[in-house]
Amino acid sequence: MAKLYFNYSAMNAGKSTVLLQASHNYIERGMTTILLTARLDDRAGEGVIASRIGISANAGRFDANDDLFNMVKTQHEEQNLHCVLVDEAQFLTADQVWQLAALADDLGVPVMCYGLRTDFQGKLFPGSAALLSIADDLREIRTICWCGKKAIMVVRLGADGQPLEVGEQVDIGGNDKYISLCRHHWKTRKLRDD
């Protein structure tokens, strides 16, 4: 039976790398995958999932208005899909998470979602909250804080390089704007060992 998976972590844990590797494994065995990424994240280019280690692949794009069940179902009817892989899954809506669950439940296509669990204020993203609620399988991809402990939080940096306390939940960026920290150093806002 197909499942809905949520692979989550803080920033810079290698989520996109793991996603691209999973897709490669399917393709290497003669199977077909579909990759999806959030339309608003175009850091690597429009419709591109890229890893910090230099690998990338083209992907379909979604935003909050897309019906992912119908989008994928149409492609599945044209070419049998063996897996759907979703990057930046924190940007899904709750309805879209249920649509992805229906792909697994009704069409028998496994769906593997990869994304952040929480934002820079320690709050769940809507897509992540829904995935944590209904995914069949939750997998944490680990990264580390500068102190060596497991990093589970992120801070967003302002133009001055100092942690921001307020702001919009979504501000696309990478190492230029975000640092992953353990909970202790997130609370104390200590960014490095001085």
**CA-based nearest residue to 69, from 105, 40, 29, 38:** 105
> What single string gives the DSSP state of each residue in 113-165?
EEEESB-TTSPBPHHHHHHHHH-SEEEEPPEE-TTSSEE-EEEEB-TTSSBPS
Q: Are 90 and 62 a contacting pair, CB within 8 Å?
A: no
Residues marked active site are found at 88
- Residues 71 and 102: their CA atoms lie apart, in Å, by 12
Stated length of the chain: 194
* 3-class DSSP assignment, residue 38: strand
Read off the amino acid at residue 42: D
